[in-house]
Structure 1
Amino acid sequence: MAVSLSKGQQISLTKTAGPSLTRVRMGLGWDGIMKRGLFGFGGGRVEVDLDANALMFDADGQLVEAVWFRELQNANGSVRHSGDNRTGAGDGDDETISVDLTRLPQHVTTLIFSVNNYSGPNFSEVENAYCRLVNLDGDKEIARYDLGAQGSHSALIMASLRRQGNDWVMTAIGQTSRGRTFHDNLTDIRPYV
């Protein structure tokens, strides 16, 4: 059974998913903005382009690699992005980032997952947004974080994965920020590295 995370909550992924945890996927899903037409007729969905990011930091807190819509994998291929979904159309995860924890470079001690609204509207207008962590060995959801933080922000620092010996600890962050890409959020991300 998946753990429903709240802001600031930590879980040990090894304790939650078992010692066989080697590959995880962070999934991001959302729906476009529902617009109502004149007198409630003729409305429809406006497409929203949310972007999932995985930022890799070393023990000194330096950003060493980033996987996002312009860089779909890291140098050794241990972190891979599914590609840019510019609409949010369809069911399930709209963008995913898969991480092979066994192949992740040893100098990477923290991964930060974040979301940016590249198309511009703030998150208060985006419907059904969530992120989730899935154990790819068995395709089992181990944690879910509903991105229900409403407000005028256009970015969200979702969660971190931090190496602790042979274990990985996930922390739900849920910190709002602003900007179209993760570059705009680095100042807000630093406290969580």
Structure 2
Amino acid sequence: MTITLTKGQKVSLQKQNGGTLTSVRMGLGWDAVKKRGLFGMREQSIDLDASALLFDAGGTLVDQVWFRQLKSRDGSVRHTGDNLTGAGDGDDESILVDLTRVPATVSTLVFTVNSFTGQDFSQIENAFCRLVDEAGGGVEIAKYNLSGSGRHTAQIMAKVSREGSGWSMTALGIPTSGRTFHELLPAIAGVL
């Protein structure tokens, strides 16, 4: 059963049978708003980029996974590749996380999205992030709608945090601006 999250809502990543999730995928999907042109409606290309940032308990960034570094140094987090347009159905970009291999020093993973090409979110529609149980057959666990027009070019989507012996996910949906995750770090510091 998928949980549709609202901003600030937190969900435990424990399985229904009491087990803990071991491998998850954060999927990001979007469509560009069609523009009216001289010859009718035309598609535009918008390059959104998903990133996963790994933080220790003190809030220090210890590793990052994004289009220029597709794998964490330890291999526990992996980006499946950069989609430059948002074309197609379903997830346009995905980040796989093997929760059993995330180093014990990492307490929080923060997932962000930014418009590398600089368009703001008023030009994006049907945007979402979703968490999928990869080890459990690809079952969608939680989904968060990122759409909503705005002049921001980035969003801090969600965080996955250690909670006892398991993990939890919190939908953040914090609008901000920046072409890469580096420009989002000051805003991220406030959610750790």
- TM-score higher than 0.5: yes
> Match for 2:8: what amino acid?
G
Deviations 1:127-162 (A, max 9, x none): 111100000022100000000232100000000000
Check conservation: 1:47, 1:87, Cα contact below 8 A: yes
Q: Count matched residues.
A: 191
Q: Quickly say closer, same or farther: Cα 1:18–1:119, change in 2 above 3 A.
A: farther
Pick aligned residue for 2:81 from 80, 83, 91? 83
CA contact under 8 A between 1:51 and 1:84: conserved in structure 2? Answer: yes
The CA distance in 1 between the partners of 2:163 and 2:151, in whole Å, is: 35
TM-score (norm 2): 0.96
- Give 2:21's aligned residue: 21
1:145 paired to 2:125: no
Structure 1 position 185 matched with structure 2 position 180:
no
Q: 2:57 aligns with which of 51, 56, 59?
A: 59
**CA 19–185 in structure 1, closer or farther in 2 if over 3 Å, else same:** same
Query: 1:152-175 CA distances to partner (integer Å, 9 max, x unpaired)?
Result: 000000000000121111100010
How far the C-alpha of 1:36 sits from its partner, in A, is: 1.1
Which consecutive segments of 4 or more residues in structure 1 shift more than 4 A?
15-18
Give unmatched runs, 5+ long, in structure 2: none
Identity %: 57
1:33 counterpart = 2:33: yes
Task: Give 1:33 shift.
Answer: 2.8
Which ranges of structure 1 fall in alignment gaps of 5 or more residues?
none
Counterpart position of 1:125: 123
Shift, 1:43, TM fit: 2.2
Cα–Cα, structure 1 residues 122 and 68, in superposed 2: closer, same or farther, change >3 Å? same
CA contact (8 A) 1:149 1:174 kept: no
Shift of 1:16: 5.6
CA distance in 1, matches of 2:29, 2:168: 23
Cα gap change, 1:170/1:49 in structure 2, threshold over 3 Å: closer, same or farther? Answer: same
Answer yes or no: is the 8 Å Cα contact 2:86–2:92 preserved in 1.
yes
Q: Which amino acid aligns with 1:189?
A: I
